[in-house]
Amino acid sequence: MDDGFAISFSGRIASGKTNITETLARALGWTRTGFSDYLRVVMATKGIIDPTREQLQDLGQSLVEADPDAFCRNVLANAGFVPGGNILLDGIRHVDVQRRVASIVKPSRAILIHLAADDEVVARRVQERGASEQEFRRASGHPVEKDLYRSLPEEADFVIDTSAPLETVLLTCLSALNGAGVDGGIIKAARSMLGNPAKEGDG
């Protein structure tokens, strides 16, 4: 069996990471997980069933500082990932964490996609979610978010503008995965699942 791919996604708050990765996972038939999914599991063991974003950010930062390798392994294990398989990993917030993930997932090939969105689009999405500007500024200013503005876009294998319509973003992600080496048959099937014909040259 060919070695798989561990596709990580980074992006600032309201860049569309969750919606994009969940839709891609369904289309590809791959496992998808996020750092926040694991953090919610940890919070639940502490009796906190509905944690705030700040609580998740604080816990994530503390786990990164305490033992980043263990944190990454636990996130992947929580999703049932086995090295050599395929996974979409949502919520990379540190360059160092992505580099550790790349080592841990071997022989799967690690790819980082940064999902970019301009300030106007982000502000509109935050407003649509019912969050206040003050809450957004506080969350965006948390230390756990600092790599999202420069270091991670520079580290990424692909940077994709999520200001475009969702369908366009999804197809652009699939084209990026195809360019990274994901089998053309998988990409064609995913395009079909999304209701789009396969592009000539997928392979």
The encoded tokens of residue 121 equal: 């689009």
**Can you list the domains of the chain with their CATH numbers?**
5-193 (3.40.50.300)
Dihedral sign for Cα 82, 23, 203, 115, please: negative
CA distance linking residue 137 with residue 45, whole number of Å: 29
Dihedral sign for Cα 137, 142, 143, 146, please: negative
Confidence of residue 1 (pLDDT cuts 50, 70, 90): very low
pLDDT of 203: 39
Whether the predicted pLDDT of 199 surpasses 60: no
- Give this prediction's pTM: 0.88
Question: Could you tell me where the beta strands, DSSP code E, fall in 36-191?
Answer: 87-92, 109-116, 158-161
- Are the CB atoms for 111 and 151 separated by under 8 Å? no
Chain-centre distance of CA 167, in angstroms?
17
Reply yes or no: is the peptide bond before residue 107 cis, omega within 30 of 0: yes
pLDDT of 132: 67
pLDDT of 138: 64
| pLDDT per position as a tens digit, 116-166 | 988 777 777 767 776 666 666 665 666 667 777 789 999 999 999 999 999
| pLDDT per position as a tens digit, 30-85 | 999 999 999 999 999 999 999 998 899 999 999 999 999 999 999 999 999 999 99
